[in-house]
Amino acid sequence: MGWGVEHRRRGRARRSCGSTWTERLGRYIVDPVLSWVLITLVVFAVRQAYARSVHQQRHGTREVPEPPDPVTLLPIYEGLASVPENAPIKLIGRVRAGTAAFTSALGGEPCVACLVGATVWHSKKVPQVVANLRDATAAPFTLMLPDGEVEVTDVKTVDCPTRKVARHPERELVVLARHKLERHADSTEFTEGRIVDGDRITVIGTLVREVGGEQGYRDQVNRLRIAGTPSQPLVLVKARK
């Protein structure tokens, strides 16, 4: 009996306060200004959704293609007969090493260009990559073609296959020291690639003609050199087998 009386009393209290959800909704519906705002927002949202649906059905989802890499569009030459001068090109030939050849940074093998890759981990216990290094070194050499030769100097980038080599801690420290990462020597993985005498490679750069000499015009030296520019640095590429 006592529970029923209390329940009815609480029900009358809620109705007297107007706290039911129907009464709250009624207040918004009765208010003409709020009703107009709500209807306007709903209609606008429906029209926007319908317009997007129609546009996608008519035109579909079109992705804007990325522009091609300018390097891939450069003309490729394997001889000097029709090569334009003072324009970026790809020139394919064989390496003839000169007196400036050196030994590779890790393996200590003779080469004209060397690429060292290093994955630097924080430590053996913390599998977090601190840096991915690609150190390239190159010496001047001659690129031999069927109808002539071209001097190659001032190489900025070397792209060639790399592989693991025997560990040489003292040489590895020299590589890491250039980047101030010596403290990670024990947790760094190294690879090395080389371009050597006789390799068939692609040189990306600009062909220029250099004329010079101390004597008369007939005795002047006329040589071809492939060089880099600010927009297209000189690059050596050795194909992966």
Beta-carbon contacts of 89 under 8 Å, excluding residues fewer than 6 positions away, are 74, 75, 76, 77, 83, 204, 205, 206, 207
What CA–CA distance (Å, rounded) separates 154 from 162? 22
Instruction: Tell me: do 53 and 154 sit in the same domain.
Output: no
Query: CA-CA distance, 97 to 196, in Å (whole number)?
Result: 7
Q: Please tell me the predicted confidence (pLDDT) of residue 107.
A: 94
Mean pLDDT of 11-28: 54
Q: What pLDDT is recorded for position 57?
A: 63
DSSP-based three-state secondary structure for 123: coil
6 in the same domain as 104: no
Confidence of residue 155 (pLDDT cuts 50, 70, 90): very high
Q: Could you write out the DSSP letters of every residue in 16-29?
A: HHT-SHHHHHHHHH
Tens digit of each residue's pLDDT (9 = 90 or more) over 102-118: 999 999 999 999 999 99
Residue 86 lies in a domain: yes
Residue 89 lies in a domain: yes
Are 40 and 156 within one domain? no
In a domain, 64, yes or no: no
Residues 124 and 176 in one domain: yes
Lowest mean pLDDT segment, chosen from 48-52, 92-96, 105-109? 48-52
Q: Is residue 20 in some structural domain? A: yes
Same domain, 97 and 177: yes
Summarised one tens digit per residue, pLDDT across range 134-143 is 999 999 999 9
Note whether 163 and 51 are same-domain residues: no
The span from the CA of 168 to the CA of 191, in Å, is 12
Residue 230 — pLDDT band, cuts 50, 70, 90? confident
Q: Is 193 exposed, middle or buried (0-12, 13-18, 19+ CB in 10 A)?
A: buried
* pLDDT of residue 73 exceeding 70: yes
Number of independent structural domains in the chain: 2
High-pLDDT (> 90) share of the chain, % = 49
45: in domain:
yes
Let me know whether 115 and 45 are in one domain. no
pLDDT of amino acid 62: 54
**Do 185 and 95 reside in the same domain of the chain?**
yes
pLDDT greater than 80 at residue 237: yes
CB atoms within 10 A of CB 214: 7
**Is residue 65 one of the residues assigned to a domain?**
no
23 pLDDT tier (thresholds 50, 70, 90) = low
Residues 50 and 100 in one domain: no
Averaged over 153-162, what is the pLDDT? 92
Q: Is residue 164 part of a domain?
A: yes
Q: Are both 48 and 80 inside the same structural domain?
A: no
Asked which of 59, 79, 96 is the last residue of a domain, the reply is 59
Q: Check whether 29 has a pLDDT greater than 90.
A: no
* Structural domain that includes position 146: 70-238
* Mean pLDDT taken over the chain: 81
Asked whether residue 105 falls in the same domain as residue 54, the answer is: no
Q: What is the pLDDT of residues 166-183, one digit of tens each?
A: 999 999 999 999 999 999
Residue 217 pLDDT grade (very low, low, confident, very high; cuts 50, 70, 90): low
Pair 53, 75 in one domain: no
